[in-house]
Amino acid sequence: MDAVAHPSPRGPRIVLFLEYDGARFSGSQVQRAGIRTVQGELETALEALTGQQLRVRMASRTDAGAHARKQVASFEPVSVVPLETYESALNHHLPNDVTVAEAVCVEGLDVNRDAVSRSYRYTILNRCNPSALLRDRVALVREPLNHLAMANA
């Protein structure tokens, strides 16, 4: 996902590019207490790092079980933590199924409104037998696919 900052009265924000394996998440955004989400884990890690409760904004939602290669999240920093510290420190506090790939400081970015694109990838394994390696990453369709109908759609 690419993001472009527009002039805004908001101050600086830390923008995080996340990767996660969504197999054990109930989606990316906080829903209710006791439900494990990517945003919840990130907010917990930020509190461990800064000692303060910070609200994270996610650029888009993902459903339960969905994975992400470059999910964008942001928050307004309230403590003085060097930018280069966010990646390693947050990765230290995050569970191993979520990683901060990159952290940048941007002035006035709204990760929802200022995103210029979003892309999603769905993978179909079209064969009779499931895959031991890809079982959580693909949809298994055992019947032959109608490639012409798919192309027309």
Q: What confidence tens digit (pLDDT) does each residue in 100-150 have?
A: 999 988 887 777 777 776 777 788 999 999 999 888 788 899 999 999 998
pTM of the model: 0.76
Which residues does the annotation mark as catalytic?
63
| Alpha helix (H) residue ranges in the chain | 38-50, 83-93, 147-152
Mean pLDDT in residue range 55-69: 81
pLDDT tier, 48 (very low <50, low <70, confident <90, very high otherwise): very high
**CA separation for the pair 131, 45 (Å, rounded):** 34
For residues 142 and 76, the model is more confident at: 142
**CA separation for the pair 111, 100 (Å, rounded):** 16
Handedness of CA 49, 51, 52, 53 (dihedral sign): positive
